[in-house]
Amino acid sequence: MRTSKNCSSKQEVLTALSLSTWMYILARAIVGVCIGVVFTASFTLVRAVTTPETLGRALGTFGAVSGLTMMASTFIGGSLATVEWRLAFLVVPVI
């Protein structure tokens, strides 16, 4: 999971530094794959550390925290994009 998170962070930096449309699209595609792996591993980890009785609550908490984090990072990224669009892609590596 750590490798996937590092992959995502590095690709976000490449997205911010992209010099062409194709470089931007390729970096975003790789970010999508990396984040898919991170979420899959995260759900698997939650499932592994909880009992069947508490799984629903654990996944609900995970979903709520993920949603709030995405909302906050979208707000921060949007605010940074008003200054320079490339700054918006540097939110994930910093977090």
pTM for the predicted model, two decimal places: 0.71
- Cβ proximity of 31 and 19 under 8 Å: no
Distance, in Å, from the CA atom of 36 to the CA atom of 79, rounded to the nearest integer, reads 25
pLDDT above 70 for 75? yes
Whole-number Å distance between alpha carbons of 59 and 8: 23
Q: Smallest Cα–Cα separation from 14: which of 32, 26, 2?
A: 26
* CA 65 to mean position of chain CA atoms: 13
pLDDT tens-digit series, residues 41-74: 888 999 999 999 999 999 999 999 989 988 998 8
